[in-house]
Amino acid sequence: MASTNDLKNGMVLKLDNDQLWSVVEFQHVKPGKGPAFVRTKLKHVLSGKVVDKTFNAGTKVETANVDKRDMQFSYMDGEQFVFMDMDTYDQLPISRDVVGDAAKYMLEGFTALVAVYEGNPLYIELPAAVELVIEFTEPGLQGDRSTGGSKPARLETGAEIQVPLFINQGEKIKVDTRDGSYLGRVNK
């Protein structure tokens, strides 16, 4: 248990029938009239839904001990992604539902942040950008470079993204893992 005065960004709270909510932002408010309160923005750990919630100052809230560790994606075992803890070398199978869209940008050997609560993996957090090789894209035509257009490209992970016309097959590019957008070429 913690007081609302102890809230910090990233802290995970257990509210509403043991649902896990992560504190995105908080603000202590002391109005001229009436008691002080804490205004928070909370994100549901599993669904990603964001809500605003207000607590009276000093109210006790239950915290959840979510363990976040860097783990390396080792291999696929059927529909399970197997991650290895870099410190203990323990292997943790994680279902495709938990991995979600992160699967589009992961290769064997990639390191990701894995959040675990009571032995159950909650979600995977990739770095903001990853470097991947273009497996296939149509060649750009000579006159197209000045228009700033884009074309589809398939990455080595199998994900499809839009890249500028001047990008060729076999090039290594940087991709934003949050929205799948092209960020730039990687210098060799």
Looking at the fold, whether 114 and 71 belong to one and the same domain comes out as yes
Domain membership of residue 36 as a residue range: 2-63
6 DSSP 8-state letter: G
Mean pLDDT, residues 38-66 taken together: 90
> Which residues, at least 6 apart from 11, have a Cβ–Cβ distance to it below 8 Å?
2, 22, 23, 63
Cβ pair 122, 98 in contact under 8 A: yes
Q: How confident is the model at residue 73 (pLDDT cuts 50, 70, 90)?
A: very high
Total domains in the chain come to 3
Looking at the fold, whether 47 and 80 belong to one and the same domain comes out as no
Looking at the fold, whether 104 and 145 belong to one and the same domain comes out as no
Among the residue ranges 60-69, 102-111, 144-153, the one predicted with the least confidence is 144-153
Looking at the fold, whether 58 and 96 belong to one and the same domain comes out as no
